[in-house]
Homo-oligomer: A and B are copies of this chain.
């Protein structure tokens, strides 16, 4: 399915910043503030006023100096100042709201929060709102032209790139302006513009095509967002004509410094570089006999004079693994490569770690790297684009999955969680990075309901403790208003859609089982005998990857207690990760009481039945949501039904052929 780009003029493609948001903004609005983003707020108010008249009551927006001048109590203001420039304070008296921004971004975030109803319970007292994560960034995997294999947006399921078309920046950037305000409204403060797999054309964004980056930076700057570029570690060779990219080579260091200087001359608030090095064919420091600290620090030192940062991905593994070799475990790779380097990265390096040890699966364990680098700035990398979770053809609301990951404590109860660890300290902050799911599609995300994932990503990066179901309500109300039936149906379709998707796809944390290449739809053995290191080891007797310390790859030993013991033992290992950690017979009995094989049979059959229940519910919203949106979702629900049936039938058939064990419910196996 390909989606045509449009300019954002209809209610469909205004996403959550349309008429429903506009009607929540108080009619009486006073803005007493200075700073570069005040004009943005002014323009937003004007834009929203064209969509709806607004709510009764008033909103007074002030910056800190104005608030002090006007005699607001010192205590909350001091607290607000300590919370950082992105924070805001809010006080409600009936229909009258007072908002104070600690800095430019704080003003803007507070304004959007009021508009979208994100401020939670309010009351007569001042309440300070500040983001938990300093880094709240989206990575675009956009190519400038259509890649023959990967398409324009790598792992993109929403049409072409918002930024680029036919190898150059788009002429009409109206939609980028709207995209920037959508991102700012959920607190995103950084955007990396191009694919981490940097091809020849995209490499030139750093040099000859820098003016194109500058234009995008201007648009994002207006919404408090800084831009970054993915760069090739071999840029000194590819772009600079040098013979090496060795981080210890003075010419290479000079080349990067000059390149950074040139960027900052045009874009003084440029965010920095994102680097995928020594990973899936991308060049890196290994070729020069250097390690990843050497590599990251090379770029960091070029950026440091400008306060730029390096986001260095920890996604490093051997993608030419021999499937015969059961001792090598891709899950260990990032930990093995990076944990020994803890403490060696410069202060402006952030090591960007995928949330799980494999690759954005529907279910996998938490990456042990997160807990293994206390002296390194970290960002956890999530994937909003639904590469392995239905590719924006299936409804799959991912916030519960991210929330579970972010709240995982590295140690006994009360230990720092993933969210707390990556947040870091005020001096050395980290955060959350996520791969965008947005493209030139008129609904932004292909599947209109996938907008909720983008929304939730921003919300969880702001407040990792926010409940996924509450975020879903926020998104529904901002996008569709207060129609109770709409809320009820969308909740029913979305709230548990991640678990639903899991129920009919790869079982019990084993992962993959997708068609190689495009990663959509079932192929149980698709990756089984490949060099990619992603195996299930199913045979006639059992299935799963033995990652125990006792008899397996030892991966479990990378976790602190109590996790190491909990995962190691079949008595305590959670069902949903059983096959991620253990190889067990099909007759192994889960904590649920079912055998593994019966679980495989039942979940896939039940999951499909539950999918079939979605479309009739959605039909009830005909006429209550925009018609084009309703039609798109209906079409995609049909595809979800088809695909879920295929998953059901292939997996049930495969595992019956393998195990020879009948489905005790007697349901048909093909």
Contact = CB atoms under 8 A, between A and B. Distances in A.
- By size class, the interface of chain A is 20 to 34
B650 A529 contact: yes
Nearest to A660: B540
Interface in A636-670: 646, 649-650, 653-654, 656-660, 670
A659 B541 CA distance: 10
Nearest to A670: B324
Nearest to A668: B324
A523 interface: yes
A148 interface: yes
Contacts of A323: 670
Nearest to A517: B517
A657 to B, nearest CB: 3
The winner among A522, A656, A670 for most chain B CB atoms within 10 A is A670
A324 B649 contact: yes
A514 to B, nearest CB: 12
A221 to B, nearest CB: 38
A538 B657 contact: yes
A524 interface: yes
A658 B523 contact: no
A342 interface: no
A575 interface: no
A148 B649 CA distance: 32
A243 interface: no
A525 interface: yes
Contact of A539 (B529, B541, B660): B660
A522 B530 CA distance: 10
Taking the full assembly, how many copies of this chain does it contain?
2
The winner among A522, A540, A656, A670 for most chain B CB atoms within 10 A is A540
Contacts of A524: 525, 529
A324 B652 CA distance: 12
A352 B148 CA distance: 34
A526 to B, nearest CB: 8
The winner among A539, A659, A660 for most chain B CB atoms within 10 A is A539
B658 A540 contact: yes
B148 A539 contact: no
A669 to B, nearest CB: 10
Contact of A659 (B529, B540, B656): B540
A658 B529 CA distance: 14
A650 B529 CA distance: 7
Nearest to A525: B525
Given A324-B649, A649-B324, A529 B540 contact: no
Interface in A532-587: 538-541
Contact of A522 (B522, B529, B540, B653): B529
A529 B538 contact: no
Contacts of A659: 540
Contacts of A670: 323-324
Contact of A658 (B522, B653, B656, B658): B658
Nearest to A656: B539
Contacts of A646: 529
A639 to B, nearest CB: 16
Contacts of A523: 525, 529
Given A658-B658, A659-B540, A660-B539, A529 B653 contact: yes
Contact of A660 (B529, B541, B656): B541
Given A523-B525, A529-B650, 16 more contacts: A148-B148, A324-B653, A523-B529, A525-B654, A529-B649, A529-B653, A529-B654, A538-B657, A539-B658, A539-B660, A540-B540, A540-B657, A540-B658, A540-B659, A657-B658, A658-B658
